[in-house]
Amino acid sequence: MVTGKLSLISIGLFDESDLTLKGLEEAKKADRVFIELYTSKWHGNLKNLEKLVGKKVEILSRKDLEEESYKLLEQAKTRNIAIFVQGSALVQTTHLALLQEARKLNIKTRVVHNASIISAISETGLHPQKFGPYVTIPFPEKTKGKLPESVYEVIKMNKARGLHTLCLLDVEDSKCMTAKEGISILLELEDRRKEEVFTRATEVVVFAKAGSENPLIFYSRVEDILKMDLKEIPAVLIIPGILHFTEKEYLSLFKSEYNRKI
Amino acid sequence: MVTGKLSLISIGLFDESDLTLKGLEEAKKADRVFIELYTSKWHGNLKNLEKLVGKKVEILSRKDLEEESYKLLEQAKTRNIAIFVQGSALVQTTHLALLQEARKLNIKTRVVHNASIISAISETGLHPQKFGPYVTIPFPEKTKGKLPESVYEVIKMNKARGLHTLCLLDVEDSKCMTAKEGISILLELEDRRKEEVFTRATEVVVFAKAGSENPLIFYSRVEDILKMDLKEIPAVLIIPGILHFTEKEYLSLFKSEYNRKI
């Protein structure tokens, strides 16, 4: 008899104060509470989160969630298990796979949604309905030095339709790719393909520390960004397509905006 | 001397418990707190929200936020003004315009993000990076009976690239378009265009009451959905593009899922 439950609780973009009341309530009701911290850089404090929930919050490794997820599912058959996940749950396919397995086992499931960078990008003034599919720029180590051609393809196709492209930057064991590292990879791709999709003259938007009190939004040409000291994480890159005049006007606010507190 | 502040606080998808701790804190610090309820259907309770914030929450009309936004901005020059907005702030261009005006007046601004349907759709098992631009299906009254050809164009172009299309359904003064009404408009478009973009045989996903304890996800052919009593709101339609086998497998969970509690 399956009496347990698996809840995936999104913790939002930045720190523990991004948690929703619903998410907090769900965690309080759980018998065991876990958190995964390896898929993004979380700026929160685990001790504070534990205080809010009123119980221990155990850290899950990639291995716990991927290779050994059966252990979590085994527990969820009879107990109420909650897992805090970064950003919006299920945007990562790992979490989706876990949920699917739970459903197959007739375990009750619950998803608590939260902010995601996919919608938070509207803070840049770019209209969300004008974004094409997004991409993730992987660390070169992951692709064994091979350039991520598919990323270039998506940007190129979005551009052809006048659409914006959100480029997520890879995270590996809490190490986040910086905006400048992402740009370098795109420039390498351009050097190879030479289709004028992403050059030093391309204007891009860097959006870092989304959800924090001091988000950074910076709009400039690639060559200018390369000259700057830009280490803020987590960050994303946006390559605008055809700009509506209201988008242009809004983005102009961020042309000289670096280091200005919003 | 501008000493005030304007905060746009997203209240999330469903009810007051979707509010984040950060959003609640921001509202508590405000001198005056407002809420707009006309851009979507909110299932929350205003009295409960007021209890949480500890002060009166005044309802803003479309007129207050659009034609007479200067009144709000005038106040925000010297006072700390917070506005609760539905879903994720700034996805609506009205909110973006307000923020832009505030920045021009040197009013300090703050955005508190929250869940948006744009990322919550990952609960259907469809991979978020495979969505093309989304569309909004307008009420026929709004378009003076003219069919929204641009909606058809976007779905068609997404389909050509194998991408999924999220169709948001119009809201007018808290009246939400149902999934079936949205489908009827798309079928009318098909009747006119006859390009086999959206027919009675097309398989679609209906996702309603996102963020609630009992979200509804239903995957079926258009002709089957038309036979059902499907009034849940707020709802969205998703027209899948080319499905990855993991997406196919996940969606199959929702084939006979109507009325089953998740």
Average pLDDT score over chain A = 92
Q: Do B113 and A111 touch (CB under 8 A)?
A: no
Coil vs helix vs strand at A242: coil
Helix (H) or strand (E) holding A10: strand A5-10
Q: Do A128 and B91 touch (CB under 8 A)?
A: yes
Q: Which of B13, B122, B163, B245 to mutate to test the interface with A (most CBs of A within 10 A)?
A: B122
Residues B61, B172 within the same domain? no
CA–CA distance, B162 with B165 (Å, rounded to integer): 10
| β-pair type (A171-172, A175-176) | antiparallel
Residues A56, A133 within the same domain? no
Residues B154, B111 within the same domain? no
Q: Do B127 and A211 touch (CB under 8 A)?
A: no
Identify the domain containing residue B237 by its residue range: 118-261
Residues B211, B238 within the same domain? yes
pLDDT band (50, 70, 90) for residue A172: confident
Q: Regarding predicted confidence, which is higher, A202 or B213?
A: A202
Q: Do A88 and B20 touch (CB under 8 A)?
A: no
Which residue among B115, B143, B166 closes a domain? B115
CATH number for position B143: 3.30.950.10
Q: Do B19 and A18 touch (CB under 8 A)?
A: no
φ/ψ of B237, rounded to 5, equals -115, 145
Which residue among B91, B115, B139 closes a domain? B115
The average pLDDT across A207-231 equals: 92
Residue B21 has pLDDT above 50, yes or no: yes
A112 strand-pairing partners: A9
- Measured between beta carbons, the chain B residues lying within 8 angstroms of A133 are 129-132, 163
Residues B241, B144 within the same domain? yes
Q: Considering only the beta carbons, identify the residue of A22, A130, A136 that sits closest to B18.
A: A22
Q: Which of B90, B112, B159 to mutate to test the interface with A (most CBs of A within 10 A)?
A: B90
pLDDT tens string B171-221: 887 789 999 999 999 999 999 999 999 999 999 999 999 999 889 999 999
Per the structure, the count of domains in chain B is 2
Residues A35, A16 within the same domain? yes
Nearest CA in chain A to B20: A20
Residues B146, B36 within the same domain? no
Q: Do A135 and B129 touch (CB under 8 A)?
A: yes
Nearest CA in chain B to A252: B100
| Distance in Å, alpha carbon of A205 to nearest chain B alpha carbon | 17
Q: Considering only the beta carbons, identify the residue of B163, B210, B249 that sits closest to A133.
A: B163
Residue B242 has pLDDT above 90, yes or no: yes
Q: Considering only the beta carbons, identify the residue of A17, A97, A133 that sits closest to B22.
A: A17
The average pLDDT across A186-202 equals: 97
CA–CA distance, A149 with A155 (Å, rounded to integer): 10
pLDDT band (50, 70, 90) for residue B260: very low
Size of interface A-B (CB pairs under 8 A): 149
Residues B127, B90 within the same domain? no
Q: Do B17 and A10 touch (CB under 8 A)?
A: no
Rounded to the nearest 10 degrees, the angle between the axes of helix B245-252 and helix A93-104 is 40
**Closest among A112, A120, A92 to A211, alpha carbons compared:** A120
pLDDT band (50, 70, 90) for residue B259: very low
Residues B15, B123 within the same domain? no
Q: Considering only the beta carbons, identify the residue of A116, A122, A133 that sits closest to B96.
A: A122
Residues B169, B193 within the same domain? yes
Q: Regarding predicted confidence, which is higher, A199 or A89?
A: A199
User: What ipTM was estimated for this complex?
Assistant: 0.93
Residue A259 has pLDDT above 80, yes or no: no
| Distance in Å, alpha carbon of A140 to nearest chain B alpha carbon | 21
Handedness of CA A244, A247, A251, A253 (dihedral sign): positive
Residues B122, B109 within the same domain? no
Nearest CA in chain A to B93: A127
pTM exceeds cut of 0.90? yes
Residues A96, A185 within the same domain? no
Residue B258 has pLDDT above 80, yes or no: no
